[in-house]
Amino acid sequence: MRARCIRQVILAAALMLLMSPAMAAIAPPKGPVLLKVTGNIHHTNVGGELWLDREMLKELPWHTIVTDTPWHRKPSRFEGPLLRSVLEMAGAESDMVEIHALNDFFAELPVSDTENYDVILAMKRNGEQMTIRHFGPLFVLYPFDDHPELKNEAIQFRSVWQVNQIKVL
């Protein structure tokens, strides 16, 4: 009788873990992969990495930033998922990430930036999908106009465009 009760408790605990949203499986992308999240992550969908396509990124909480940037002639409206949401989806555990671009450029970014500011992976600029030619398909963007302390060279260096990978260190 006691062994049966123990088995039932173990089975119930296992079912609770399987039903937990944090433990839910992430399906592999159906479309072209825009972003790979690698490194110290707990939620993966392809070979120990988290691969995301455009539709998967659209399902995350989005944010809009209207700001002037050093790379555009006038303020623009940028839209995309919050970077912290991407890191949460991946189950990232680190204080630092590397943001990698298509041209092999990369910059380190403290995770605290994503906690203190609404940093986005911009996918749209002024309502139009961002292309590789124009900083896309993903552009790490800080809300420069909302926080004057962000208008410095160190933050600009972290504003990587043509992003294709995030390495969680």
Which residue segment(s) compose the domain that 60 sits in? 27-168
pLDDT (average), residues 125-152: 97
| 8 in any annotated domain | no
Q: Is the pLDDT of residue 79 over 90?
A: yes
Q: Which helix (H) or strand (E) holds 158?
A: helix 153-158
81's enclosing H/E stretch is strand 76-81
Asked if 81 contacts 54 with a C-beta cutoff of 8 angstroms, the reply is no
In a domain, residue 14? The reply is: no
How many CB atoms are closer than 10 A to CB 111? Answer: 18
Task: List, in sequence order, every beta strand (DSSP E) within 85-147.
Answer: 96-101, 106-110, 120-122, 124-125, 128-129, 139-141
Residue 56 resides in a domain:
yes
Which structure tokens are listed for 153? 């060279």
Question: Which CATH number does the domain housing residue 33 bear?
Answer: 3.90.420.10
Q: Is residue 20 part of a domain?
A: no
Residues 56-77: what's their mean pLDDT? Answer: 96
pLDDT tens, residue by residue, 104-118: 999 999 999 999 999
Number of domains in the chain: 1
**Which pLDDT belongs to residue 21?**
45
In a domain, 19, yes or no: no
Average pLDDT of every residue of the chain: 90
The pLDDT of residue 9 is above 50: no
